[in-house]
Structure 1
Amino acid sequence: MAKIKIGLFGFGVVGQGIYEVVRKSKNANAEIVKICVRSLDKPRTIDRSYFTDSADEILDNPEINLIVEVIDDARAAYDIVKRALLKGIPVVSGNKTMLAHHLPELIDIQKRLHVALLYDASSCGSIPVIRNLEEYYDNDLLLEVKGILNGSSNYILSRVFDHSDTYAHALAQAQALGFAESDPSFDIEGYDSLFKLVIITVHALGTYVAPERIFTYGISTIHESDIRYAREKGVKIKLVAQVVKVSEEHFTMFVMPEFVTPDKYIYSVDDEYNGVVIRGECYDRQFMFGKGAGSLPTASSILSDIMARLHDYRYEYKKQNYVQRPDYTTDITLKVYVRYTTTDIHRILHFRKIREQYTSEESNYVIGDIALSELLAKREQLTGEDLFLANIPIFFLNRDH
């Protein structure tokens, strides 16, 4: 079995974790040959001879037979991954932003050149959700993939609901622990979850949906009144991503805060953990749980992909070859909670049915039925600091008893 010689791009928190797990793994039969970084002047914890600031030094090295890419620049990651694949070098990537925007092109290159791109680490940290969906779940029987896909936002909401922290203090704690960046918007606005959902859907149903076509709403404007309302109802608020089959011919997908009841698996997914529920026609629900943030959990997932390459594994994208694949639709009705103060929400949104309304000096809210297409069309008008939206689940309620 040929030894894997790795060219590593990126040596931040995750890159350093990869170096450690590869070094410690007795069965990986792999070694890191060279590491490409942005700056050679930065102090390093390992021998400086490992490092280069030239991508060509790695991509043109005939000794290197696997590229591992864990940089945070999506454009640079795309350039590296595409160049490597076109050279016939297999790649392991953890960059969900890059993958979510370029998967169709990268899948085409893989198929034409018979080269592998693996990216289990791009979705849900240590949980092997991609490979499981790829290998074990037929899209005819698959009804839903739903869960908490972002460890940072989940840590914040866990501190709020389980420890009575304020949102601001919980966010500061997440940043101090390295779960959230100094600019946390990628996580708390839902984009991290969105990009993971795009990737998951390719492997769940065999269909790619561009990120801009998917309604996404985060937790940055959550207010004490929303938290109080949830507590009064005996629920928690979680940032949830989901892809749902709504008929034999159609599926939908979105990312939103959700009121989660105690009988749901994801209710007890706390701190930086992720949890994914896979629902099927014949097997009801299956639940996957694991750490979704941090250096070593992500590095362990990268190692799993490295080990898979040791056995010549690649995704086959079988579901893309199915004659009948469901089409994406936003022509569905959701039940939502909308809290607001000064924004004229009734002028912006046209509810199909209003189920409950409340008005006070501090804030107002409305609960009603609304088309997902309406939310998507009006999303630029739903960015006010005085607004907060949350989904109230309606799918598969009759199956959860």
Structure 2
Amino acid sequence: MSKYKIGLFGFGCVGKGLYETLTTNNDLDAEIVKICVKNRDKDRSPISKDKFIYDPEEILNDENINIVVELIDDAKAAFDIVKKSLEKGKAVVSANKKMVAENLPELIELQQKYNTPLLYEGAVCGSIPVIRNLNDYYASEQITEVKGIFNGSSNYILTKLFQEGQSYAEALKEAQDNGFAETDPTLDVGGFDPKFKLSIVIQHAFGIAVHPENIFNWGIQNISDQDIEFAKERDLKIKLVAKASTIDDQISLLVAPHYIDSDNPLYHVENEFNCVLINGKYASEQTLIGKGAGSLPTGLAVLADVASLTKDYSYNYNESRPLTITEGASEVYLRFDDVNDIDLSLFESISEKFIGQKHGYLIGKIELSDLKNILKEADHKVNVVFTSGKDAEIEVSKLTYSYA
């Protein structure tokens, strides 16, 4: 009999990945004894029907279960499960980035109150041990910036757009067929998924709690053929980048498409892979790359958390740094259908502008708050791509030619 008995909530893509990685791993003294699911009629073969239950209380009230693994889609229900588990002294593993991001301060309090750990490596960037590295290896580092590709689904789609010339609809369908994107892809392509992940990363990198609602996000769903053509003409790519950067006592946060040049490590990260760049005072820039989507990579991250719990591992939450969230000015490429939809006076400067018969664009510097207003007013009629380089913002205009 195994020493560690697991009660598993949810048996979707990640749940199946956990089950496979655990049952084919002979080195871990743990086993899944109960799996709570909603659908009674779904075929779960070759797994025995005896393992499946339909009442959460059967796991929560089972004194023999000492580890709860929460892998369901519903963030509200997931929080209820995690909270009750911690209150009952059961260690918890979760891969629900929305649930963790929206409730992290309370989850930290619950862990401290009941002296029971919660681990959630699988919630951030799949198989890359981001949280573990920030919590342990970089504990003594003075981190200045964390940024990268935090969403494998959107990166897979962008790869297909650039490398194979697929349409957005074709690339999205292929991502869904391969299990990298959900039937409703809004969380991925809209930049919400990486925003939840960034919120969690900020806690471990900078010691501050930032609710996802306070992080700006703009996704890839509005990227057009014109935006891609612009990039290809200048040997650039578009990547959906999550970024937290500090200057002195201020921190700027955003998730948005960025033009990336070939000197940037993110330029070479394709398909469902994620990449996290950590910048610090002592180690400078460090690069972590791995699969950010898929059943087995994410299942492995969850399994690693389970293994850590068997060794009494828990997170250390550092004291908050005195950082103030700022919405400073950034240089952006803004593509529009009609220039009359854009209040050009909101830009601090405009370095390039092109107006054609069917579309136009401008490159300029603008405060994030003003950019939000433009995007809100124009909605689907515009798209924004931030300009970026390896270590600092670069001006795309320096790489372009002027249109008459």
1:398 shift after superposition: 9.1
Matches within 5 A, 1:79-158: 79-138=80-139, 141-158=142-159
1:67 shift after superposition: 0.2
Partner secondary structure for residue 251 of structure 2: strand
Partner of 1:9: 9
Partner of 1:65: 66
CA–CA distance in structure 1, aligned partners of residues 300 and 176 of structure 2? 22
Stretch deviating more after TM superposition (303-312 or 277-286): 277-286
Contact 2:339/2:355 (<8 A) preserved: no
Distance 1:25 1:290, change over 3 A: same
Partner of 2:165: 164
Q: Pick from 342, 346, 349: which aligns with 1:346?
A: 342
Contact 1:340/1:388 (<8 A) preserved: yes
CA–CA distance in structure 1, aligned partners of residues 393 and 60 of structure 2? 54
Aligned residues: 393
Q: Pick from 358, 381, 386: which aligns with 2:381?
A: 386
Distance 1:77 1:344, change over 3 A: farther
Matches within 5 A, 1:1-400: 3-45=3-45, 46-138=47-139, 141-245=142-246, 247-317=247-317, 319=318, 321=319, 324-330=321-327, 332-342=328-338, 344-347=340-343, 350-376=346-372, 379-382=375-378, 384-393=379-388, 396-397=391-392
CA–CA distance in structure 2, aligned partners of residues 80 and 285 of structure 1? 38
Partner of 2:397: none
TM-score normalised to structure 1 length: 0.94
Distance 1:344 1:7, change over 3 A: farther
**Pairwise CA RMSD:** 1.9
Contact 1:198/1:208 (<8 A) preserved: yes
Give CA-to-partner distance per residue, 1:69-124, whole Å, 9 cap, x none: 10111111011011111111110000001111100111111112111000000000
What are the ranges of 5 or more consecutive residues in structure 1 without an aligned counterpart?
Answer: none
Distance 1:380 1:139, change over 3 A: farther
Amino acid at match of 1:24: T
What are the ranges of 5 or more consecutive residues in structure 2 without an aligned counterpart?
Answer: 395-404
CA–CA distance in structure 2, aligned partners of residues 191 and 221 of structure 1? 15
- Report sequence identity in percent: 43
CA–CA distance in structure 2, aligned partners of residues 58 and 349 of structure 1? 59
Distance 1:398 1:20, change over 3 A: closer
CA–CA distance in structure 2, aligned partners of residues 369 and 398 of structure 1? 11
TM-score normalised to structure 2 length: 0.93
Amino acid at match of 2:382: L
1:325 shift after superposition: 3.2
Distance 1:395 1:373, change over 3 A: farther
Partner secondary structure for residue 342 of structure 2: helix
Distance 1:340 1:13, change over 3 A: same
CA–CA distance in structure 1, aligned partners of residues 249 and 173 of structure 2? 44
Partner secondary structure for residue 289 of structure 1: strand
CA–CA distance in structure 2, aligned partners of residues 184 and 8 of structure 1? 25
1:395 shift after superposition: 8.2
1:216 shift after superposition: 0.3
Give CA-to-partner distance per residue, 1:337-378, whole Å, 9 cap, x none: 110103744328711111111100121111111112323455
Distance 1:39 1:71, change over 3 A: same
Contact 1:348/1:381 (<8 A) preserved: no
Distance 1:325 1:3, change over 3 A: farther
